[in-house]
Amino acid sequence: MSRWTYFAKRLVLSIPVILFGTSLTFFIIYAGPIDPAYAILGQQATGERIDALHRRLGMNQPLWAQYFDFITDMFMFELGQSWVIRPDVAANDVIMSYAPRTILMGALAVILPLFVGIPLGFYAGLNPNTFGDYLASFSGIVWRAMPNFWLAVILLMILSQSEEFLFGFNWEEFLVSTKVAGTPDMSNLMEPMGFIKAAKVVLPGALVLGSASMGNEMRIGRTAFLEAKNSNYVEMARAKGLPGRTIVWKHIFRNALIPLIPVITAEAAVLVGGSVLVESVFGINGIGWLFFNAMMRGDLPLAGALMYLFILLIVGLNILQDFLYTVVDPRVGFEGN
Q: Has residue 32 been placed in a domain?
A: no
Cα 200 to Cα 181: distance, rounded to the nearest angstrom = 10
Q: Has residue 177 been placed in a domain?
A: yes
Q: Has residue 26 been placed in a domain?
A: no
Helix (H) or strand (E) holding 280: helix 260-282
pLDDT one digit per residue (tens) for the chain, 337 residues: 566 777 788 888 899 999 999 999 999 888 777 778 877 777 777 778 888 888 888 888 888 888 999 999 999 999 989 988 898 899 999 999 998 888 888 888 888 788 888 888 888 888 888 998 898 888 888 877 888 888 888 999 999 899 888 888 889 888 888 888 888 888 888 888 989 999 999 999 888 888 877 888 888 888 888 888 888 888 888 888 888 888 888 888 878 888 888 777 776 666 665 677 888 889 888 888 898 889 888 888 999 999 999 899 888 888 888 777 777 766 655 555 4
- Structural domain boundaries enclosing 316: 91-328
C-alpha distance across the termini of the chain, in Å: 9
Q: Has residue 66 been placed in a domain?
A: no
Phi, psi at 99, each rounded to 5°: -60, -40
Cα 219 to Cα 172: distance, rounded to the nearest angstrom = 34
Q: Has residue 83 been placed in a domain?
A: no
Q: Has residue 62 been placed in a domain?
A: no
- Which CATH number do you get for residue 194? 1.10.3720.10
Q: Has residue 44 been placed in a domain?
A: no
Q: What is the CA radius of gyration of the chain?
A: 24
Total structural domains in the chain?
1
In this predicted structure, what is the pLDDT of residue 274?
60
